[in-house]
Amino acid sequence: MARWRNLLAVAAAAVTAATMGAIASPAAAAPPDPGGGVVSPQVVGGTRATQGEFPFMVRLSMGCGGALYSSRLVLTAAHCVGATGANTSITATLGVVDLQSSSGRIQVRSNYVYRAPGYNGNGKDWALIRLDTPVTTLPTLRIATTSAYDTGTFTIAGWGSASEGGSQQRYLLKATVPFVSDTTCNSRTMYNGSVIASDEICAGYTQGGVDTCQGDSGGPMFRRDNANAWIQVGIVSWGAGCARPNKPGVYSQVSYFASNIASAAASLGG
Ligand code: ARG
């Protein structure tokens, strides 16, 4: 039920964001409100990322996030895209934390979308977008191919709402969230069995306050690997509201899909 309600909210958010285009609207351009709310107003509970801190971050024009998987491919969420096939309707913005900055900003159009086979709104929430022009000046984000990194503290980042129901952000926000086990995440007080243990991974604080939110979908959740390099462990997928107590963020578990993602990438030309 929580999942169903959330997906409806996502669809609405995506439509709204699509009308905004790749560049943030005036509303989204408003500086983060430091007001006295319970939740601090960034990614929900985050702070601004510095220019170049997460150079693999991608903003997609339908109002989602993504990560640069290869020079031609962006890894995002299935619920952010339409069916598999030729698609020139998406604009990817890369290379900047400020979506309105003209210096260093790269904007590239899509030419193909590959949505996870069998995606039906329940799990399998991953997709690849092929860019019309390769982006060779930015580093890619490696995906976890084993579950070894599916624990610990994760970094989340995105241009989505900084509070539940809030506007999209002009500046990239970041935060860290702890891993939540499937058992805990599926407990009665949390998602009561609606998390797919095999292909989803939860992260957040029991008390809430820090989370991804609408518009962050498709973006990466990542951490450092043993060589201190960033490695992607999750894709922002869903949650009940944002940053609520006992409602962690739910992410596609990248390690579970890693070989499927790699084969799909190869079929798209790498
Ligand atoms: N599905 C949302 C989107 O389209 C992201 C939801 C993440 N929610 C959360 N509480 N972590 O942007």
What is the extent of the structural domain holding 71? 3-26+55-140+258-267
Band the pLDDT of 202: cuts 50, 70, 90.
very high
Q: Tell me the C-alpha to C-alpha distance, in Å, between residue 176 and each of 104, 136, 157, 219.
A: 26, 28, 9, 14
Assess whether 201 and 67 both reside in one domain.
Answer: no
Mean pLDDT of the chain: 88
Using the Cα atoms of residue 242, residue 20, residue 254 and residue 82 in order, give the sign of their dihedral: positive
Half-sphere exposure of 265 (CA within 13 A, CB side): 19
Ligand 1 near 236 CB (within 6 A): yes
What are the φ/ψ torsions at residue 114 (nearest 5 degrees)?
Answer: -120, 110
Q: For residue 42, what pLDDT is reported?
A: 64
Per-residue pLDDT reduced to its tens digit, 101-148: 999 999 999 999 999 999 999 999 999 999 999 999 999 999 999 999
Q: What percent of the chain has pLDDT over 70?
A: 84
- Tell me what percent of the residues of the chain surpass a pLDDT of 90: 84
Average pLDDT over residues 194-205: 98
Q: State pLDDT tens for residues 158-197.
A: 999 999 999 999 999 999 999 999 999 999 999 999 999 9
In a shared domain, residues 147 and 205: yes
Same domain? 89 vs 116: yes
The one-letter amino acid at 227: A
Cα of 9 vs centre of ligand 1, distance in Å, is 9
Same domain, yes or no, for 162 and 242? Answer: yes
- Residue 128 falls inside a structural domain: yes
Return the closest-CA partner of residue 76 out of 49, 110, 99, 28.
110
Q: Taking the model in full, what pTM does it have?
A: 0.87
Distances, alpha carbon 125 to alpha carbons 119, 189, 247, 252, in Å: 7, 24, 19, 6
In the prediction, which pLDDT does 71 show?
98
Question: Ligand 1: does its nearest atom lie under 6 Å from the Cβ of 211?
Answer: yes
Q: Is the dihedral of CA 173, 178, 181, 184 positive or negative?
A: negative
For residue 125, report the phi and psi dihedrals to the nearest 5 degrees.
Answer: -90, 70
Listing DSSP states for 215-250 in one string gives T-TT-EEEEE-TTS-EEEEEEEEE-SSSS-TT--EE
Cα of 158 to ligand 1 centre, how many Å? 11
Same domain, 251 and 204: yes
Q: What CATH number is associated with residue 158? A: 2.40.10.10
Residue 151 forms part of a structural domain: yes
Kindly report the backbone phi and psi dihedral angles of residue 265, in degrees, each rounded to the nearest multiple of 5, phi listed first: -60, -45
Largest CA-CA distance found in the chain, in angstroms, rounded: 50
pLDDT band with cut points at 50, 70 and 90 for residue 8: very low
**93 CB less than 6 Å from ligand 1?**
no
Mutate to test the pocket of ligand 1, among 213, 221, 244, 250 (most ligand atoms within 8 A of CB): 213
- 210 and 246 fall within a common domain: yes
Same domain, 127 and 227: no
**Distance in Å, CA 249 to ligand 1 centroid:** 7
Q: Are residues 7 and 123 in the same domain?
A: yes
Whole-angstrom distance, CA of residue 137 vs CA of residue 211: 30
Q: Using CA atoms, how far apart are residues 116 and 49, in angstroms rounded to an integer? A: 30
**45: in domain:** no
Residue 219 has pLDDT above 90, yes or no: yes
Based on the fold, state whether residues 76 and 107 are members of the same structural domain. Answer: yes
For residue 41, what pLDDT is reported? 44
The domain tally of the chain equals 2
d(CA 221, CA 153): 10
**Is a pLDDT exceeding 90 seen at residue 17?**
no
In a domain, residue 39? The reply is no
Asked if residue 117 and residue 222 are part of one domain, the reply reads no
In the prediction, which pLDDT does 63 show? 98
pLDDT in tens, 42-64: 699 999 999 999 999 999 999 99
168 contacts 215 by C-beta, under 8 angstroms = yes
- Where is 184: in which H helix or E strand? helix 182-185
